[in-house]
Amino acid sequence: MPSDENPNTPVEALRENRVTRVRLNLPEERNRLSPAMVRALLQEVRQAEADPGAGCLLLEQRGSVFCSGFDHGSISQPGVVESLQTLFRLQRELRKPLVAAVSGACAGAGIALLLQCHYVLAAQGTRFSVNDIHSAIWPALYYPCLLRACGPRRACELALTGRVFSAADALAWGLVQELVPPYELEDRALQMADGLASLSPAAVSSGLAFAAEAAAGEHSPRPAEWFREAAGTPDFFEALAAAREQRKPRWPSLSAAQQKRRGPEPAPGE
């Protein structure tokens, strides 16, 4: 976890190599999604998306609860519902991988956060619940994500009962991708994030866009056309050369993005 703890900051972020670690930082409130936390989380994600040095985002927690849901008392405040909708559609917009490491407990809108991630690791023993019904409300803002993840019957049952279920159930139903011992969670999550961050930025970005369109049922380029275009990129040829020469790839798209961020080099003598 990021080491510089600031109790006044709802979300902390720290980049390590090409991984941006984003930590929910309100353990005394069980990391409940208050309007301030939602705004801060969206800001940190957008900054990491715009940072050419960041290749992957890792969502973590401070405290024993990953997220206990959103602040139902704030729903009537202007702009809150719209901000939550934006947060719960993140995966459609993200062009960099988002990994989550969850432990202890995760409930309500916390599960909606996990559903925005491309890969979720959970510590063994973590407990989950889609518990909004106990606050007399249906989880409509993130129900479409839940339905896509685990199917209509399971999504309805979890939302209707609000029951607690295990990490093993979450794995079986597609809400998480990997279970690890609690003491290995941070290292394994970083290992996964580092691996994703090492991939071709251009291939990851275009691939995630393709996947998001396909998942939403939207029109996307025909697979053959998309594949031919991808197979003609500088990163594709670099991957072939790196494999042939038995070395790590040096992605042209990463160099181009970093150069664009720095701006043009000054002319000699300037």
CATH of the domain at 161: 3.90.226.10
Residue at a domain's end among 180, 197, 214: 197
Assigned domain for 269 exists = no
45 confidence band (pLDDT: 50, 70, 90): very high
List the beta bridge partners of residue 57.
Answer: 20, 98
pLDDT on residue 265: 47
Mean per-residue pLDDT for 24-39? 95
Mean per-residue pLDDT for 12-38? 95
Query: Taking the model in full, what pTM does it have?
Result: 0.89
Percent of residues, the chain, with pLDDT higher than 70: 90
Mean per-residue pLDDT for 104-121? 97
263 CB-contact burial (10 Å; exposed 0-12 / middle 13-18 / buried 19+):
exposed
Starting at the edge strand that comes first in sequence, how are the strands of the sheet with 19-24 ordered? 11-16, 19-24, 56-61, 98-102, 119-123, 178-180
Assigned domain for 270 exists = no
pLDDT on residue 218: 62
Question: Do 238 and 120 fall into the same domain?
Answer: no
Assigned domain for 55 exists = yes
7 confidence band (pLDDT: 50, 70, 90): low
Question: Do 161 and 36 fall into the same domain?
Answer: yes
Question: Do 133 and 254 fall into the same domain?
Answer: no
The chain-wide mean pLDDT, for the chain, equals: 91
Assigned domain for 34 exists = yes
Question: Do 188 and 232 fall into the same domain?
Answer: no
d(CA 212, CA 75): 28
Phi, psi of 162 (to 5 degrees): 65, 20
pLDDT on residue 223: 84
Nearest to 72 by CA among 88, 84, 63, 61: 84
Residues 208-254 have pLDDT tens digits of: 999 988 887 766 558 888 889 889 999 999 999 999 999 999 999 98
Question: Do 209 and 108 fall into the same domain?
Answer: no
Per DSSP bridges, beta strands 98-102 and 56-61 are: parallel
Residue 3 pLDDT > 60, yes or no?
no
Question: Do 166 and 214 fall into the same domain?
Answer: no
d(CA 145, CA 270): 54
Query: Residue 8, Cβ neighbours under 10 Å: how many?
Result: 6
Q: State the residue range of the domain holding 251.
A: 201-262
Assigned domain for 3 exists = no
Residue 5 pLDDT > 50, yes or no?
yes
Question: Do 112 and 71 fall into the same domain?
Answer: yes
pLDDT on residue 220: 59
Residue 207 tokens, joined: 């691939």
List the beta bridge partners of residue 59.
Answer: 22, 100
Assigned domain for 189 exists = yes
Question: Do 97 and 53 fall into the same domain?
Answer: yes
Residues 169-180 have pLDDT tens digits of: 999 999 999 999
Question: Do 103 and 36 fall into the same domain?
Answer: yes
Assigned domain for 118 exists = yes
270 confidence band (pLDDT: 50, 70, 90): very low
Residue at a domain's end among 143, 176, 197: 197
Instruction: Judge whether 109 and 33 are in contact, CB under 8 Å.
Output: yes
Question: Do 164 and 219 fall into the same domain?
Answer: no
37 confidence band (pLDDT: 50, 70, 90): very high
Residue 28 tokens, joined: 């005394």
What is the chain written as a DSSP string?
--S---TT-SEEEEEETTEEEEEE--GGGTT-B-HHHHHHHHHHHHHHHH-TT--EEEEEESSS-SB--B-GGGTTSTTHHHHHHHHTTHHHH--S-EEEEE-SEEETHHHHHHTT-SEEEEETT-EEE--GGGGT---TTTHHHHHHHH-HHHHHHHHHH--EEEHHHHHHTTS-SEEE-GGGHHHHHHHHHHHHHTS-HHHHHHHHHHHHHHHHT-----HHHHHHHHTTSHHHHHHHHHHHHTS----HHHHHHHHHHH-PPPPTT-
Question: Do 78 and 172 fall into the same domain?
Answer: yes
Residue type, 60: E
Mean per-residue pLDDT for 125-154? 95
Residue at a domain's end among 168, 197, 226: 197
Question: Do 226 and 250 fall into the same domain?
Answer: yes
Count: domains in the chain: 2
Assigned domain for 239 exists = yes
